[in-house]
Amino acid sequence: MKKYAVIDIGSNTVRMVIYTAEDTAFHGLFSKKYTLGLAGYIQDGIMTQEGIHKLCAALLECRMMLEQFEIERYFVFATASLRNIQNTREAVDQVFLVTGFSIDVISGQAEAYLDYYGVMVDAPLENGLLFDIGGGSTELVTIAHDGPGVIESLPIGSLTLAKEYVDKVFPKQSECEKIQARIRKELKKRKLHRLPAHTALCGVGGTARALLMLAQEQQELPDTQRLLTVSQLKKLEKALWKKDGKAREMLLKTCPDRLHTIYPGMLILDELVQLSQCETIYISKYGVREGYLRRELARKKKTIEPEK
């Protein structure tokens, strides 16, 4: 089996995953995550030199780790972290000069589609609403029996909302109301508030996985369970919104790197639950990274197959 590496540069985290692959089938072999919070290094729409240096340092470490594996090929892409800044080209060029990595900055629409493409690896959904609450953006895809329908990328994420509206770690009621108003404004701007009801939501990305782990911890659910009912989600949220010692302890134990982003992420998810009128939320193991690799492997297979 050949090995491939995918490095995903997000607004909150940078993650490298190494996969073993044969044809278009693949399996995760190794994963390394860096919580850089790149969205916190943006001033007046420009990523600062400090932010670019932090990214370069993480990528240089990734390069050293890649040398320990016999990698067939690696892919490096960025989402809202570099997409939503004014100095994208300068940042990408600087990273290339320092690390040798050429970064593919993908659009919000492409990210949403790759989320869908990745999820379909292990959860072939026939209908529902797919969401990816990232640090700097939120992607939404409606799914029907004949494939993806509405594909949208909202320029709001758990980290950017925390940075813009939250003064301390836990948001105050007035800050929550401002965040909710912003979420509704972005949904309405794209006419997403008119979407038909969906009985099922499918979540990908770090926020969704963190909420699943918190629910597993709080309600003693099996680690293999990836489906949450809305009542299970509400039970978790009720405990977290107390913002007391128990809530802090649970967050520090389960997802300490998301202490300051989990609440804005929950507010986004709450709006989606209300919008979709869903009954269940499935949290996929796969997402944009797997979608990206799946697409590249399919392209490779197409180029080497003889014409019929």
Q: What is the DSSP string of 24-66?
A: TEEEEEEEEEEE--GGGGEETTEE-HHHHHHHHHHHHHHHHHH
| Lookup result for tokens 């089938």 | 25
pLDDT tens digit sequence for 267-298: 999 999 999 999 999 999 999 999 999 999 99
SS3 assignment, position 71 = strand
pLDDT of res. 291: 96
pLDDT of res. 39: 94
pLDDT of res. 35: 95
Which residues are registered as beta bridge partners of 14?
A: 9, 34
Q: What percent of the chain has pLDDT over 70?
A: 97
How far, in Å, are 56, 161, 164 from residue 47 at the CA level?
13, 17, 16
pLDDT tens digit sequence for 212-264: 999 999 999 999 999 999 999 999 999 999 999 999 999 999 999 999 999 99
Quick check: pTM over 0.85? yes
Which residues are registered as beta bridge partners of 32?
A: 16
SS3 assignment, position 251 = helix
Could you give the strand order of the β-sheet that contains 227-229, starting from the edge strand earlier in sequence?
A: 147-154, 138-144, 128-133, 200-204, 280-283, 227-229
Q: By mean pLDDT, which of 103-107, 140-144, 175-179, 193-197 is the weakest?
A: 193-197
Count CB neighbours of 169 within 10 A. Answer: 12
Spatial CB neighbours of 75, under 8 Å, sequence gap ≥ 6: 4, 5, 6, 7, 104, 292, 293, 296
pLDDT tens digit sequence for 17-47: 999 998 878 999 999 999 999 999 999 999 9
> Domain residue spans in the chain?
2-108+289-304, 123-285
CATH of domain 2-108+289-304: 3.30.420.40
Over range 116-133, report the average pLDDT: 86
> What are the helix (H) ranges across 166-261?
173-189, 206-219, 230-240, 245-254
pLDDT tens digit sequence for 160-187: 999 999 999 999 999 999 999 999 999 9
**pLDDT category of residue 308 using cuts at 50, 70 and 90:** very low
Q: What percent of the chain has pLDDT over 90?
A: 86
Contact yes or no for 246/239 (Cβ under 8 A): yes
Spatial CB neighbours of 134, under 8 Å, sequence gap ≥ 6: 10, 11, 12, 79, 80, 157, 158, 205, 206, 207
Contact yes or no for 114/72 (Cβ under 8 A): no
pLDDT of res. 248: 95
**pLDDT category of residue 122 using cuts at 50, 70 and 90:** confident
State whether CATH 3.30.420.150 applies to domain 123-285.
Answer: yes
pLDDT of res. 303: 66
pLDDT tens digit sequence for 56-97: 999 999 999 999 999 999 999 999 999 999 999 999 999 999
CA-CA distance, 83 to 72, in Å (whole number)?
Answer: 27
Over range 186-214, report the average pLDDT: 92
Topology agreement, domain 2-108+289-304 and domain 123-285: yes
pLDDT of res. 124: 62
CA-CA distance, 150 to 112, in Å (whole number)?
Answer: 10
Contact yes or no for 262/251 (Cβ under 8 A): yes
